[in-house]
Structure 1
Amino acid sequence: MVTEVNAVNFRQNLGEMLNQVQYRNDSIVINKDGKPVAALVDAELFARIRRMRDRFNALSQRIAEAYAEVPSEEGLAEIDSLVNQERAV
């Protein structure tokens, strides 16, 4: 479950919110001036997010290296073509 709280409420109830995250695997979005500024998630989820980010960055780097010599217009045209093929399925 995802709970949204304002920063003042978060500060006042930090212990309870840590328990929510640790024992119920909830996530908490902390808002300031009505806008989300941070999230509190359990350590296992955070580790998974970091691994996914690292894999995404590595994959992005491999793609950038593979297309380094391809002109931008040609690469974008290839991407558009593949997206259109997938949408047609």
Structure 2
Amino acid sequence: MITETSAVKFRQNLGEMINQVQYRHDSILIKKDGKPVAALVDARLFGRIRRMEQRFDALSSRLEKGFSEVPQEEGMREIESVIADERSGS
């Protein structure tokens, strides 16, 4: 479950919110002036997020190297063509 709270309420209830994350495995979305600025998640989920980020970065690097010799204009035309095909249902 994701709970949303203001930064002020978060500071006032820090201990309770840490317990909520630790024992119930909930997440807390912290907002400032109504806009999301941070999140508190349990350490296990944070570890998974970091591993996924590392895998994404490695994959992005491999894709970048694989397409490094394709001119940017050609690549963009191909991407736009695939998007148009998907949108038209072809």
Shift of 1:85: 5.0
Instruction: Give how far 1:83 is off.
Output: 3.9
Aligned to 2:44: 44
What is the distance in 2 between the residues matched to 1:80 and 1:35? 33
Question: Structure 2 length as normaliser, TM-score?
Answer: 0.88
* Paired position in structure 2 for 1:74: 74
Number of corresponding residues: 89
Q: CA deviation at 1:80?
A: 3.0
Q: Which residue of 1 aligns with 2:56?
A: 56
Query: Root-mean-square deviation (CA), in Å?
Result: 1.4
The CA distance in 1 between the partners of 2:59 and 2:76, in whole Å, is: 18
Shift of residue 73, structure 1, vs aligned partner: 1.5
Per-residue deviation, 1:39 = 0.2
**Secondary structure of 2:30's aligned partner:** strand
Structure 2: segments with no counterpart, 5+ residues:
none
**What is the percentage of aligned positions where both structures have the same residue?**
66
What is the TM-score normalised by the length of structure 1?
Answer: 0.89
5+ residue gaps in structure 1? none
Partner residue in 2 for 1:24: 24
Distance 2:22 2:5 in 1: 17
